[in-house]
């Protein structure tokens, strides 16, 4: 029997943001977890620190729920996993579900990971039209861990929407660090 090859890491999501084609929208959502150890919850999952993590505390599947206030276009999820640091806590099988609420979630992706180390990019494009999905809710379910581990660690999750082209006129994308600082009016 052939040994499955390791899951290759994807690019750092911050590099994708710098291209000006996607924008991280996780801060616009309400996040909840099926369980967590004290001090290892949503704040650690979203703190931009690869040394911190969410640790579940219960039976599988372990769930991350991401709910938006309005229907939101989502192009991609990025999950950071590190098998060398987390060993049996590292997810090996993940399901991504989308829908309007908890009662009508539909699985859109299922992913098997072998000793991942780095960013895992999960495309959320409609397979028929190749357009980004539009949803109120995303659920990430950890179905299995490496070495049959019980609880799971996830170090970071990022949610990306495509950046729409200007309808006023075609302007060059401003992707330098100096321009990126002023790209949003607050």
Residue 161 located in a structural domain:
yes
User: How sure is the predictor about 28, in pLDDT bands with cuts at 50, 70 and 90?
Assistant: very high
Model confidence at 32: pLDDT above 80? yes
Residue 2 located in a structural domain:
no
Residue 63 located in a structural domain:
yes
What is the β-pairing status of strands 54-55 and 153-154? antiparallel
| % of the chain with per-residue pLDDT over 70 | 85
Predicted confidence (pLDDT) per residue in 80-118, tens digit = 999 999 999 999 999 999 999 999 999 999 999 999 999
Residue 3 located in a structural domain:
no
- Token pair, residue 186, equals 């607050």
Q: What is the CATH number of the domain that holds 103?
A: 2.60.120.260
Of 120, 150, 134, 142, nearest in space to 33 by CA: 142
Token look-up 């590292």 returns 90
Residue 8 located in a structural domain:
no
Predicted confidence (pLDDT) per residue in 139-185, tens digit = 999 999 999 999 999 999 999 999 976 555 555 566 667 766 666 65
> How is the chain classified by DSSP, letter by letter?
-PPPPPPPPB--HHHHHHTTSEEE-GGGEEEEES---TT-SHHHHTSS-TT--EE--SSSSEEEEEEEEEEEEE-EEEEEEEHHHHGGGSEEEEEEEEESSGGG-EEEEEEE-SS-EEEEEEE-B-TTT-PBEEEEEEEEEEEEEGGG-SS-EE-EEEEEEEPPPPSS-------SHHHHTTSS--
Total of domains in the chain: 1
User: How does the average pLDDT of the chain come out, rounded?
Assistant: 89
Which whole number is the average pLDDT over 60-66?
A: 97
What is the model's pTM?
A: 0.84
Domain enclosing residue 142, as ranges: 13-182
Residue 148 located in a structural domain:
yes
Tell me how far CA of residue 14 lies from CA of 19, 100, 180, in angstroms.
Answer: 9, 28, 12
What is the predicted pLDDT for the residue at 19?
87
What is the predicted pLDDT for the residue at 40?
97
What is the predicted pLDDT for the residue at 164?
78
What is the predicted pLDDT for the residue at 1?
43
User: How sure is the predictor about 10, in pLDDT bands with cuts at 50, 70 and 90?
Assistant: confident
More confident residue, 85 or 20: 85
Residue 6 located in a structural domain:
no
């Amino acid at each position: 029997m052939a040994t499955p090859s390791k899951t290759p890491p994807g690019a750092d999501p911050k590099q994708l943001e710098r291209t000006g084609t996607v924008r991280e929208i996780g801060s616009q959502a309400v996040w909840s977890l099926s369980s967590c150890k004290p001090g290892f919850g949503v704040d650690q999952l979203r703190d931009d620190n690869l040394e911190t993590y969410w640790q579940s505390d219960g039976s599988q599947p372990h769930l991350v729920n991401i709910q938006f206030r309005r229907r939101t276009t989502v192009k991609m999820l990025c999950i950071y996993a590190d098998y060398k640091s987390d060993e049996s806590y590292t997810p090996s099988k993940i399901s991504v579900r989308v829908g309007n609420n908890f009662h009508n979630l539909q699985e859109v992706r299922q992913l098997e990971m072998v000793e991942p180390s780095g960013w895992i990019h999960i495309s959320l494009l409609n397979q028929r039209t190749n357009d980004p999905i539009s949803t109120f809710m995303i659920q990430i379910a950890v179905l299995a861990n490496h070495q049959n581990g019980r609880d799971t660690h996830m170090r970071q999750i990022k949610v990306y929407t495509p950046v729409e082209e200007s309808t006023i006129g075609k302007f060059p994308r401003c992707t330098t660090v100096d321009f990126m600082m002023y790209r949003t009016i607050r």
